[in-house]
Amino acid sequence: MSEDAERRPDGLRFLSGIILVSAEPERLVGFYRDVLGVPLAEEQHDDSQPHWACELGDVHFAIHPQADYPGEAAGVGSVKLAFMVFEMDRLVAWLRGRGVEPLYPPVEFGESSRITAVRDPDGNTVELTELGPGWLDHLKTHRAAGGDLVAQWGARLS
């Protein structure tokens, strides 16, 4: 094989989301929102159950009820990491070449976005998301509204 064919696509550089799944999501929300101060707000979209979410810096953080992930247990192993990827098809091919099979083929996820997932060695789900241009617009708006960690940190140091 050529050197280029063996080269892994760009590495994972950005965490796009953290999703906690709970059998008692209201209790979990109470802790994160009311005790720790995470700015969770209730939302519901598509066919999901009501859940709570916010942006932590550039990372989407959410707590979902177990009903949104049928067949998956809540508790140990219920944390799902989601990484932003730029070249979904190349990355999936590269992973398969190393014996890592996706749990499902990449599927459409919202407007112009795609998602698939793999399991880590401990059995946790790791989602790989190729986000569409709407997410870039969302993050620009979020940063303009004060959600830019670098800008806020710099302002505190000045």
User: What CATH number did the domain enclosing 30 receive?
Assistant: 3.10.180.10
Question: What integer pLDDT is reported at residue 13 of this predicted model?
Answer: 64
Where do we find the tokens 């067949």?
A: 71
Q: How far is CA 131 from the centre of its chain?
A: 10
pTM: 0.64
pLDDT in tens, 60-119: 999 899 888 888 777 666 567 788 889 999 989 988 988 889 999 999 988 789 999 988
**Segments forming the whole domain that contains residue 68:** 3-157
pLDDT in tens, 122-143: 777 889 899 988 888 888 898 8
**Cα–Cα–Cα angle for 14, 17, 19, rounded to 5 degrees:** 150
- Calculate mean pLDDT across residues 4-10: 72
Question: What integer pLDDT is reported at residue 75 of this predicted model?
Answer: 65
Domain count within the chain: 1
Looking at per-residue pLDDT, the higher value among 13 and 148 belongs to 148
